[in-house]
Amino acid sequence: MNAINTSILDTLARIVGPSGLLGGSDMAPYLTDWRNLYSDGAALAVLRPASTQELSDCVKACVAAGVPMVPQGGNTSMVAGATPDASGRQIVISTQRMNRVRAIDTMDMTMVAEAGVILKTAQDVAREAGALFPLSLGAEGSATIGGVLSTNAGGNTTVRYGNARELMLGLEAVMPDGTIWNGLRRLRKDNTGYALRHLLVGAEGTLGFITAAALRLFPLPREEAVALAAVRDEEAALSLFRRFRDRDESAVRAFEYMSAGSMHLVLDHVPGATLPLAQRAGHYVLIDLASSRPGAELRALLEEVLAEAMEAGEVLDAALAESGAQRAAIWRLREEHPEGQKLAGASVKNDVSVPVSKVPEMIRRSSDALRALIPGSRPVPFGHMGDGNIHMNLAQPLDMDAKAFLERSHDIMDCVNEVVRELGGSFSAEHGIGRIKTDMMESWRGGAELAAMQAIKKALDPKGLFNPGKVLP
């Protein structure tokens, strides 16, 4: 290690203390991504500041020494956004020790949480206070408030409550020069020039470091009803969504589509996963209704709409949860989709969105194109149909070498993206750009939009030290 590195590490160690600076093999969990796509990560150190002030002092020291920084929360990014490169020059800054819920107010319906608060903890704290923090996703046991805001995560309840951005009222952040910005305003209306808070949301750590957020809360549901239905095809799934939306839009908390390909990987690979239906089908949907209105009669609504759709030949079979345990078991089948695909071998992810009406066409055309591109490959689409966001993923052919399959990743993504572009969609719906999709930015956002992004980056982070190599090409 050279003298410059030794001196910056000494400075940082003085700021954060011995438990705030990790090196050597202690850094291992911070250096690879959840998907294990990048195992070449290396870092000068992993920093774990315990407060906004400590973080600010660390950032100032890193800027002075020209050391690049990689913000990291739960490291569950699907696009390797939180992992460092192979240079060994970058410092990972983890929010693990900045994990206090600072305040909760059920009159204002707000909660102020530090960036390192785990999403599940935020939900639990809100529930204990008699309110709902509605953001929900499979990684909620590890993902953090800073991470979900920095990726503008969506998840399962976007159809009812919006993305993470819609749940944020104000932010506190350490800007790229180390200045602390306190924008923790808990206001429903605050039109005061450019909305810096919205620039930081979805910036994936490239424009500053979110240290705390003022979040919106909602009333707890009084009634919940969940069903898993086998449906005839993609169009039938969409038609069922419309039936529920037309009957009571405010009751639809989640509407998730799962193809046979993806559901059966869960049933075949995830221990304990069982289908609560008489037989396997070609397509499934999970319907989750919730209401805080007394007497919402959601169970009756669920039965009536499913019966109508059965009569119309759209629904083939359905299982209605009779208890909290059964609701959880049905949800588990959905939540285990990423894990099922991981256990089944190599897969390539395509987190895409199209206008809701185009979802069936997108799934069908992409699946055909993918099968033609790599014979024997298995399209495994699933996801948030109510938001037009499908994970149009592809599992490797059973007889193909995983490495050879992954080498085709960009062909596979291009193949889906071509269909998505024709349908007016986006190549990145909810996971972000991270390290994986930077090369797509020019073709999708090039021109005025990308130029503005680059100008903003240069203005806020002129030395390019915040999460270099992510988001922008």
Return residues touching ligand 2HG (CB under 6 A).
78, 138, 337-338, 349, 383, 391, 393
Distance of CA 365 to the CA centre of its chain: 25
Could you give the 3-state DSSP secondary structure of residue 189? coil
User: How near is the Cβ of 422 to ligand 2HG at its closest, in Å?
Assistant: 22
Which two tokens mark 392? 């149009």
Nearer to ligand 2HG among residue 111 and residue 362 (C-beta): 362
User: Could you give the string, one character per residue 397-436, with x where binding to ligand FAD holds by CB under 6 A and - elsewhere?
Assistant: ---------------------------------xx--x--
Gyration radius (Cα) of the chain, Å: 23
209 binds, among ligand FAD, ligand 2HG, none (CB under 5 to 8 A by kind): ligand FAD
In one letter, which amino acid is 249?
A: E
349 binds, among ligand FAD, ligand 2HG, none (CB under 5 to 8 A by kind): ligand 2HG
271 CB neighbour count, 10 Å cutoff: 6
26 CB neighbour count, 10 Å cutoff: 11
358 binds, among ligand FAD, ligand 2HG, none (CB under 5 to 8 A by kind): none
User: Could you give the string, one character per residue 140-169, with x where binding to ligand FAD holds by CB under 6 A and - elsewhere?
Assistant: --xxx-xxx-xx-xxx--------------
Measured CA to CA, the distance from residue 415 to residue 382 in angstroms comes to 17
User: How near is the Cβ of 461 to ligand 2HG at its closest, in Å?
Assistant: 28
225 bridge partner residues: 289
Measured CA to CA, the distance from residue 127 to residue 312 in angstroms comes to 39
Q: Are 150 and 205 in contact (CB under 8 A)?
A: yes
**Sites for ligand FAD among residues 80-119 (CB under 6 A):** 81-82, 95, 115
Nearer to ligand 2HG among residue 56 and residue 262 (C-beta): 262
Q: Where are the alpha helices (DSSP H) in 21-72?
A: 28-31, 52-65
366 binds, among ligand 2HG, ligand FAD, none (CB under 5 to 8 A by kind): none
Q: Does 393 bind ligand FAD (CB under 6 A)?
A: no
393 binds, among ligand 2HG, ligand FAD, none (CB under 5 to 8 A by kind): ligand 2HG
184 binds, among ligand 2HG, ligand FAD, none (CB under 5 to 8 A by kind): none
Q: Does 217 bind ligand FAD (CB under 6 A)?
A: no
DSSP 456: H
Measured CA to CA, the distance from residue 432 to residue 466 in angstroms comes to 16
Measured CA to CA, the distance from residue 208 to residue 150 in angstroms comes to 10
Measured CA to CA, the distance from residue 54 to residue 94 in angstroms comes to 12
457 binds, among ligand 2HG, ligand FAD, none (CB under 5 to 8 A by kind): none
Measured CA to CA, the distance from residue 82 to residue 144 in angstroms comes to 12
Q: Which residues lie near ligand FAD (CB under 6 A)?
A: 34, 70-78, 81-82, 95, 115, 137-139, 142-144, 146-148, 150-151, 153-155, 204-205, 209-210, 338, 430-431, 434, 467, 470
